[in-house]
């Protein structure tokens, strides 16, 4: 682990996203069924799974510090007829950032959407998992660009 003992505790926020691409017939079926699959409510289940993943990132990614997460929020919306964009925002006041937690939350939420919908098609694609924004540490990142 990286020694964070001398770092200053500051408000830190990270936002990550993942895109789930559905075949057009699957997207139409899901939207017609109120985003429910045979397993239940797709988005609600993905939010729960993503939140649990955020809280357990340190158990999944070696060398991540266990963190007392203060806020975790998801937004999910279709950006096109076939692309669901999942956005995960995580916030904390601490000595280390929450980029890995936001990325893990978005990823696991996307995996959960896949799991909830795979009976409809195995041609669903998870793509574009990325950090959109990070603030509160030494560097600010906006849409993948680092600034000091």
pLDDT in tens, the chain (148 residues): 788 888 888 999 999 999 999 999 999 999 999 999 999 999 999 999 999 999 999 999 999 999 999 999 999 999 999 999 999 999 999 988 999 999 999 999 999 999 999 999 999 999 999 999 999 877 666 775 655 5
Q: What is the pTM of this model?
A: 0.91
Catalytic residue numbers? Answer: 115
- What's CA 103's distance to the chain center, in Å? 5
Cβ atoms of 16 and 102 within 8 Å: the answer is yes
Task: Give the class (CATH, top level) of 10-147.
Answer: alpha beta
Half-sphere exposure at residue 138, Cβ-oriented, CA atoms within 13 angstroms: 3
Q: Exposed, middle or buried by CB within 10 Å (0-12, 13-18, 19+), for 94?
A: buried
Q: Which of 48, 144, 47, 60 is nearest to 101 (CA)?
A: 60
Q: Which of 113, 108, 100 is nearest to 57 (CA)?
A: 100
């Amino acid at each position: 682990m990286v020694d964070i003992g001398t770092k200053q505790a500051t408000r830190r926020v990270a936002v990550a996203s993942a895109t789930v691409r559905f075949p057009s017939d699957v997207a139409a079926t899901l939207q017609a069924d109120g985003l429910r699959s045979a397993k239940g409510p797709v988005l609600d289940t993905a939010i729960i799974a993503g939140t649990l993943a955020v809280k357990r990132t340190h158990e999944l990614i070696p060398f991540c510090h266990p963190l007392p997460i203060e806020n975790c929020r998801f937004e999910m919306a279709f950006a096109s007829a076939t692309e669901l964009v999942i956005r995960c925002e995580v916030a904390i006041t601490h000595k280390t950032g929450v980029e890995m937690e936001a990325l893990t939350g978005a990823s696991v939420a996307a995996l959960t959407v896949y799991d909830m919908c795979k009976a409809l098609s195995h041609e669903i694609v998870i793509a574009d998992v990325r950090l959109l924004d990070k603030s509160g540490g030494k560097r600010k990142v906006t849409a993948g660009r680092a600034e000091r």
